[in-house]
Amino acid sequence: MPRKERVGTVVSNKMDKTIVVKVEEKRPNPKYKKYQNRSVKFSAHDENNTCHEGDVVRIVESRPISKNKNWQLKDIIERTQEV
């Protein structure tokens, strides 16, 4: 069975080797068919602390690493401009 992948934006990188990724999706309301924004936050493992806030990243599902972490960083799609 293939592993699930998600693309989202890094919201926080304050923890050691952990990032918080916000994944947003649009889905239609079942009754009215109007599109609504839905967002979910995932804690993902970042082994080398390479991500910064605002980066667009791809995460992949993995075995449980800690109580809240069962996603790993796969690659960084787009970096933010650091000042």
In tens, the pLDDT along 32-54 reads: 999 999 999 999 999 999 999 99
**CA-to-CA distance for 54 and 77, rounded, in angstroms?**
11
Does the residue 39 lie in any domain?
yes
Across the range 2-16, mean pLDDT stands at: 95
**CA-to-CA distance for 23 and 11, rounded, in angstroms?**
10
Query: What CATH number is attached to the domain comprising 72?
Result: 2.40.50.140
pLDDT in tens, 12-23: 999 999 999 999
**CA-to-CA distance for 56 and 33, rounded, in angstroms?**
29
Which domain, by its residues, includes 47? 5-78
At 1 the pLDDT is 79
Domain count, the chain: 1
- Do 57 and 12 meet the contact criterion of CB atoms below 8 Å apart? no
At 2 the pLDDT is 87
Does the residue 64 lie in any domain?
yes
User: Regarding predicted confidence, which is higher, 66 or 1?
Assistant: 66
At 83 the pLDDT is 55
Does the residue 83 lie in any domain?
no
For the full predicted model, state whether its pTM sits above 0.85: yes
